[in-house]
Amino acid sequence: MPIAKRVARARKFRGALVCKTVPQTIDRTSDGYVTFEAEDPSYDCVGIHDRNTNNSRLTVPNETRRVRLTANLCLANAADFYRAEIQKNRAASFFGLPRVNISKSPDVRTVVNMVSAPLVVTPGDYFEVKVSTNLPPNAPGVVVDSTWPDTWFAMELLD
């Protein structure tokens, strides 16, 4: 491919940015995948995110070989310890896995940001944000807040 075409292609941004509009409680007895009900209209989310089906997922579209993922979460009622991670095809073992282990914060809300390395992908691969906790019995659960702009998930298509 001529250099001019590669440069032109590199300059065109492609990706998706989705956010929460409804708070979500992650039960103390189970891990939870964060759902995203809204899409930023300035991004072309077609083929990457579906608000009605599997709205926790960002899916790699055709003709994409590498992506970078970023997630920002606002968590309330934080447990003594919890983990947030971005999973690929519901698996937590791949090079470049973004994961954050967090101890309880004295603040009412904790904001967590995760960024992946550029990841080699196959069209149809999908990514989700998972939250796990060790809440004690009778605890209310961790709330993933829907206050924009605190909770969002993004996929940048690199090539």
Task: Average the pLDDT over each of 19-33, 47-61, 132-146 and give the range with the smallest value.
Answer: 132-146
Overall average pLDDT of the 26-30 stretch: 72
Q: Is residue 98 part of a domain?
A: yes
Quote the pLDDT of residue 59. Answer: 97
Rounded distance between C-alpha atoms, residue 74 and residue 101, angstroms: 14
Q: Is residue 9 part of a domain?
A: no
CATH code of the domain covering residue 144: 2.60.120.40
Q: 94 lies in which domain range?
A: 14-157
Q: Is residue 139 part of a domain?
A: yes
Q: How is residue 82 written in tokens?
A: 């919890």
Overall average pLDDT of the 42-59 stretch: 90
Rounded distance between C-alpha atoms, residue 113 and residue 62, angstroms: 27
Inter-CA distances, 48 with 26, 57, 144, 153, Å: 24, 8, 22, 12
Q: Is residue 152 part of a domain?
A: yes
Rounded distance between C-alpha atoms, residue 44 and residue 99, angstroms: 27
Domain count for the chain, please give it. Answer: 1
pLDDT tens digit sequence for 82-114: 788 999 999 878 888 888 877 766 666 788 899
Q: Is residue 8 part of a domain?
A: no
Quote the pLDDT of residue 159. Answer: 86
* Mean of pLDDT over the chain: 83
Burial (CB count <10 Å: 0-12, 13-18, 19+), residue 132? middle
The residue behind tokens 């579906």 is: 50
Q: Is residue 1 part of a domain?
A: no
Q: Is residue 118 part of a domain?
A: yes
Q: How is residue 134 written in tokens?
A: 């060790």
